[in-house]
A and B are shown apart, each in its own frame.
Chain A
Amino acid sequence: MNKIHLTINDNQFEAEPGATIMEVALENNIYIPHLCYNPDLVPGGICRLCRVEINNDKLALACRTPVEEGMIVRTNTPEIDAAIRPIVELIIADHHSTCRGCPANGKCELQKIMAHLHIDRRRIDNLRLPQNDLPLEALTPFLDYDPNKCVRCGICVQTCEKIYGTSHIYFLNRGYDTKIAYFETVAHCDFCMECVKNCPVGVLIPKNV
């Protein structure tokens, strides 16, 4: 198969046909903000953060757009920034206030995005923050769930689905109240820990049992 040639931020790259912009960019150490993307899973495209500009024209999701010959991609235009910065600020405003003690501290995708975009905390003060932290919830017999940190990216759901065919955990409720819940079905969670490993922000906390 012939390689595909494309330009990302003025640099030339070669890629396999069928690869997505996200795959090519990450492979070449170009960071594109993302929360719901995981290389092992089908791109959900629901965090909406991996916007890139294609051929000096429209914005598209890097995780769901396959590369094309001669494509010109930009990952850092002012339009992209204007589109995604408010979203990231919303996530942070809704997120647990401190990173101290968080198991994801240091490897957290949200921290990475904040650093990448140089998020200004003062702008977040203009938003309305949740009044109180919600309590931890016992998700499965083995896991606690922290709704204050969860970005509802669905990676845990997809991970479980991939391994077991049907997911033990799934979305519950609607709108802002959407959260992850345990649906005890035919099979029980056997504590494979894959969802914990894949969570981008450290929402799932193994219990000491």
Chain B
Amino acid sequence: MITADFRAKAETEWQNITDPSVPQIFIGMATCGEAAGALSIYKAMESALIKNRIKARIHKTGCLGMCYCEPMVDIIKPGRPRITYKNLTPETAAELITDYLINDNYRPDLALGVWGKEFDGIPNLFQLDFMKFQQRTALKNIGVINPEDISQYIACGGYKAFEKALGTSQQDIIYEVEKSGLRGLGGAGFPTGLKWKTCYKARYSPKYMICNADEGDPGAYMDRSLLESDPHSVLEGMLIAAYAIGCSRGYIYIRDEYPLAIKRMAIAIEQMRQYGLLGDNILNSDFSFDIEIREGAGAFVCGEESALLASIEGNRGMPRHRPPYPAESGLWGKPTDINNVKTLANIPSIIINGAEWFAGRGTESSKGTAIFALTGKVANRGLIEVPMGITLRQIIYDIGGGIPDGKAFKAVQTGGPSGGCLPADLLDLPIAFDSLAAAGSIMGSGGMVVLDEDTCMVDVARFFLDFAQQESCGQCIPCRLGTKQMFEILDDITKGNGKQTDVDVLLELSDSIVKTSLCGLGRTVPNPVLTTIRYFRDEYDSHINDKQCPSNVCQALINGGQSDE
């Protein structure tokens, strides 16, 4: 039903928004924006418009990824470019209405950037340091369109890739994805095309398609932003995958802690149904497919694909033995393709632009772009999409603007509880799946937490092991007892009760847990301990031998363990 007519209508509508006759106001209202106060901004602007009897349209967009500027508002005044304003308060937002919309003072003091050429002293938004090193493909629509309006997505080229895919054979799509070199962006980096091919070749039916949106790493929110800001790009990726593999049913497994993402996804799915993009004979083809949302119940381990399957089936979320892999025997024993949100969001542009275009970026073994949630002690925090092979230094200093308050960089943590802490010596490490693994960390799903000199690395390891021991499913013994034991040892070290043997015991336990655990969670959770011992051994030694915390973080060890009282 996406006829040329409808697409033309959506494009005209979009044209009326981007080149309007009345002012258009865009308020970033993803979870991050709302947390920063976007709801009160919305109210303030709405009442200022009413009070001043100004005719204007307010759009709720997603998040542009510039967390350090939230809450953000864009305004297009007729004949003017789209101007983005940052760090607004309800007062300044109301001022904007009177100053800009009535008196034509576009308030350069509040402005962040212009969408396009520099405008009277306000810089080009996409030439700002935070933006200019990025290559946004999966994130191209976030913060631009209204995520609750399918016609805006269609106007921006949405579902063209799916239409193209419908005219292509299943094998050709899989071959294209395989050739592009796209690897799973959920963390493990398994070649997506190969996964699709295995599932396509599996003889049993029905086949299932699952989007893994159970993002749980501390400090990571890439999937949430994408789901909340551009749900249709993920859904289009799912449609293409399902068509290529021959799946008849799809599930999106979203963690329960993301209510707004669930709401927006449900709206998006409903709109797809209205436009004939889901259900029987999609767009009058032979392809029938439907999608259902499944909410997680709060277990981190359910992001592990076999535990996720168990959870959808209604069982306790415990990982299963592999092989057989889900592509051969997954949900209810049927072939199942499971892809991460970000992986799927990359699919439409691969289909439109071709495998060569995608493979033209990145490194030899890691193609395309990586999406990170850049957080912690860095000036410009936010969501970034950068080509693979970019160095940590470029991300932290060029994009991130360095460490605030004149502090020194100490480490960067990638990959959440499965990742590691990399020191300053490795700042020039190019980021790719293999290089990070060689350094003892992992690419992970995209959390990147910058730590400054005020961070105690033993305390960081303790934090992640505390997380791991709470989130272990408790099924296999090495993970269940090992994470607990490692946490207890680290806890003791930070409290001044470390023993001389502790570091050796930690190394030995880590080695054993990595080798013997059942699932990817257990096999990677020792990484924060292993990397902090590898790169910051001296901190462990001073905690254990001198009862000193060099960064003055561990309360029990401040003043050499002597309490003031």
Point out residues on A near B: beta carbons under 8 Å.
35, 45-49, 51, 59, 64, 82-87, 90-91, 93-94, 126-128, 151-152, 154, 170-171, 173-178
Contact = CB atoms under 8 A, between A and B. Distances in A.
A206 to B, nearest CB: 26
A4 B553 CA distance: 61
B481 A91 contact: yes
Contact of B480 (A51, A84, A128, A152): A152
B517 A48 contact: yes
Given A51-B516, A171-B475, A173-B474, 5 more contacts: A46-B476, A87-B478, A152-B474, A176-B474, A178-B473
Interface size class of B (residues with CB under 8 A): 35 or more
Contacts of B517: 48
A-B pairs, top 8 by smallest CB distance, nearest first, are A178-B474, A128-B488, A86-B512, A176-B484, A90-B481, A175-B472, A48-B516, A126-B501
Contact of B485 (A59, A93, A173): A93
A51 B515 CA distance: 10
Contact of A45 (B473, B480, B483, B518): B518
Contacts, number: 102
A48 B476 contact: yes
B51 interface: no
B492 A82 contact: no
B505 to A, nearest CB: 5
Given A90-B477, A174-B299, A84 B471 contact: no
Interface string B466-497: 00011111111110111111001100100000
B22 interface: no
Given A46-B518, A86-B512, A128-B492, A175 B478 contact: no
Nearest to B512: A86
What DSSP secondary structure best describes chain A's contact surface? mixed
A90 B482 contact: yes
Nearest to A59: B515
Contacts of A127: 485, 489, 505
A126 B507 CA distance: 13
Interface string B292-320: 00000001000000000000000010100
B315 to A, nearest CB: 10
B471 A174 contact: yes
A40 to B, nearest CB: 19
Interface of B: 299, 316, 318, 321, 469-478, 480-485, 488-489, 492, 499, 501-502, 505, 508-509, 511-513, 515-518
B493 to A, nearest CB: 11
A173 B299 CA distance: 11
Given A174-B472, A175-B474, A83 B516 contact: yes
A48 B482 CA distance: 12
B321 A64 contact: yes
B316 A48 contact: no
A174 B470 contact: yes
B470 A175 contact: yes
Contacts of A93: 481, 485
Interface centre among A59, A171, A175, A177 (most CB of B within 10 A): A175
A20 to B, nearest CB: 13
Given A48-B517, A171-B316, A82 B512 contact: yes
B516 A87 contact: yes
B511 A82 contact: yes
A36 to B, nearest CB: 8
A66 to B, nearest CB: 12
A36 B382 CA distance: 46
A176 B480 contact: yes
Contacts of B471: 174-175
A40 B405 CA distance: 65
A128 B470 contact: no
B195 to A, nearest CB: 23
Contacts of A90: 477-478, 481-482, 485, 509
